């Protein structure tokens, strides 16, 4: 049974760095055919794709966040992480980690974490 | 960037059919997935590769994609189907995008 669990600080001060970790169980994060993603939902708004780390370690980010976001993975701990720098109130959101299953010309998110609320406030 | 537009809301009576659209430029040339999202819960995959249902998803959910519009159809809608629904596709080979979301209300 694949499970993902987010953890990290729920309160971040403006202009500081948001850090979250997603612990993965039930499947190695090095497994072929999968990427490991971060997605967020600001209060009252829709889902927003943040980025993902491919099995090879390559990363891809939402261009609107590209300069502030980093996704990394630690295969030995079976987890991957998100850092978002210089946060503002607009970064307040529920952050989800998810497994993205890749296939030719497409992909989908088949497993999600329960989500963690991060509030940016002084 | 690539935009996916959805109607903000759809209302349906129990037992009736709800149709949720997702529009984007030449969307029919991309694969679309759909997610159901209830308050306080994680999104759930409803449909992938336009029209394939994962194991455990009821047959009353169906999908299609052609031209500039993908469609999620809820047949015989039940009160438990009340939720937000999001489409998702590739913006490019490396970027992803979600639709704006549709709130389905079962009256």
Q: Do B37 and A47 touch (CB under 8 A)?
A: yes
Q: Do A109 and B33 touch (CB under 8 A)?
A: yes
For A61-77, how does the pLDDT look when each residue is reduced to its tens digit (9 = 90+)? 999 997 999 999 999 99
Nearest-CB residue to B45 (from A60, A105, A109): A109
Closest-CA distance of chain B to residue A85, Å: 20
Q: Do B37 and A60 touch (CB under 8 A)?
A: no
How far is the C-alpha of A77 from the C-alpha of A69, rounded, in Å?
A: 21
Comparing C-alpha atoms, which of B2, B55, B57 is closest to residue B30?
B2
Nearest-CB residue to A48 (from B43, B94, B98): B98
Closest-CA distance of chain B to residue A16, Å: 26
DSSP A61-116: E-TTTTTTEEEEEEGGGTEEEEEE-S--GGG-EEEEEEEEEEETTEEEEEEE---E
Beta-carbon contacts below 8 Å between A and B: 65
What does the pLDDT average to over A11-25?
Answer: 98
Residues of A in contact with B43 (CB under 8 A): 47, 96, 109, 112
Most B CBs within 10 Å: which of A1, A33, A39, A109, as the mutation test of the B interface?
Answer: A109
The label of the residue with tokens 């009576």 reads B13
- Reply yes or no on whether the pLDDT at A50 is more than 90: yes
Closest Cα in chain B to A47: B98
Q: Do B99 and A103 touch (CB under 8 A)?
A: no
pLDDT > 90 fraction of chain B, expressed in percent and rounded: 95
Nearest-CB residue to A47 (from B1, B43, B89): B43
A 10 A CB-CB count for B55 gives 4
Q: Do B30 and A113 touch (CB under 8 A)?
A: no
Q: What is the mean pLDDT of chain A?
A: 95
Q: Would you place residue A86 in the very low, low, confident or very high pLDDT band (cuts 50, 70, 90)? A: very high
Question: Dihedral sign, CA of B91, B96, B102, B106?
Answer: positive
Closest Cα in chain A to B87: A47
Q: What is the mean pLDDT of chain B?
A: 96
For B16-46, how does the pLDDT look when each residue is reduced to its tens digit (9 = 90+)? 999 999 999 999 999 999 999 999 999 999 9
Contact, A29 vs A23, CB < 8 A?
Answer: no
Comparing C-alpha atoms, which of A60, A58, A57 is closest to residue A75?
A57
Comparing C-alpha atoms, which of A22, A35, A3, A16 is closest to residue A92?
A16
- Reply yes or no on whether the pLDDT at A105 is more than 90: no
């Amino acid at each position: 049974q694949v499970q993902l669990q987010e953890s990290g600080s729920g309160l971040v001060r403006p202009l500081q760095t948001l850090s979250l970790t997603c612990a993965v169980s039930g499947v190695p994060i090095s497994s072929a055919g999968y990427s490991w993603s971060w997605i967020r939902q600001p209060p009252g708004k829709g889902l927003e794709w943040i980025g993902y780390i491919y099995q090879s370690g390559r990363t891809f980010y939402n261009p609107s966040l590209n300069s502030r976001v980093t996704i990394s993975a630690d295969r030995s701990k079976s987890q991957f992480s998100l850092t978002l720098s210089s946060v503002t109130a607009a970064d307040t959101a529920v952050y989800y980690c998810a497994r993205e299953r890749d296939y030719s010309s497409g992909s989908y998110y088949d497993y999600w974490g329960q989500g963690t609320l991060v509030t940016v406030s002084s | 960037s690539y935009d996916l537009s959805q109607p903000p809301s759809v209302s349906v009576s129990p037992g009736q059919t709800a149709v949720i659209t997702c529009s984007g430029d030449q969307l029919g040339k991309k694969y679309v997935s759909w997610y159901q999202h209830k308050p306080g819960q994680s999104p759930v995959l409803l449909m992938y590769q336009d029209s394939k249902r994962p194991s455990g998803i009821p047959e009353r959910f169906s999908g299609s994609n052609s031209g500039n519009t993908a469609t999620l159809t809820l047949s015989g809608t039940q009160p438990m189907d009340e939720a937000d629904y999001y489409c998702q596709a590739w913006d490019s080979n490396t970027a992803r995008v979600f639709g704006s979301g549709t709130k389905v209300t079962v009256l």
